[in-house]
Amino acid sequence: MASTSGNSSGSSQTQNSGSEGDLQLLMDQRKRKRMQSNRESARRSRMRKQKHLEDLMAQSAQLSKDNNQILTKINITSQYYINVEAQNSILRAQVVELSQRLDSLNEILNFINTSGTGVYDSDQTLQTSADSFMNLTNLLYLNQPIPASADMFPY
């Protein structure tokens, strides 16, 4: 039996070294799998980062395009506003001018109606005297308004 135990101790060392070799081979195989898995994971991570970067660049380009369109619309609207303001200024000047003309005409009518120098006779013709307000030579002293025009404003 002693010889059997001697043989078995020798073969068990061989089996131990064989199982240690298998264990080492298994660990190396797991290590290679883990390294391969890590490489694949890193590759996927780089791809995700690249796609994210491309998405951000596309978004940036779209936002720049939208911003340029908005600026163009603002410039067009500003130009319209300036034109409307110029037209409003002209219209305001014309309102003042027409108001002054109306006031002058009302004064003339009041003068005609209150003074006895120029009245309508029975056949609706105006009778005027040489020193009358309605005599055209006497109208030169009246202030005449100046018509407004678009050239007056520097817009």
Q: Is residue 98 assigned to a domain? A: yes
Q: Is the pTM for the entire model greater than 0.85?
A: no
What 129-136 contacts at long range (C-beta under 8 Å, 24+ apart), as own/partner pairs, is 133/108, 134/108
Which residue positions in the chain have pLDDT lower than 70? Answer: 1-18, 116-155
Distance of alpha carbon 116 from alpha carbon 72, whole angstroms: 67
Q: For residue 119, what are the β-bridge partners?
A: 127
Domain membership flag for residue 136? no
pLDDT of residue 87: 96
Residue 2 lies in a domain: no
> Do residues 113 and 107 lie in contact, with contact meaning Cβ atoms separated by under 8 Å?
no
What is the number of domains present in the chain?
1
pLDDT (0 to 100) of residue 122: 47
Q: What is the pLDDT of residue 6?
A: 47
| Structural domain harbouring 91 | 22-111
Alpha-carbon span 29 to 112, nearest angstrom: 122
pLDDT for position 112: 86
Is 6 within a domain?
no
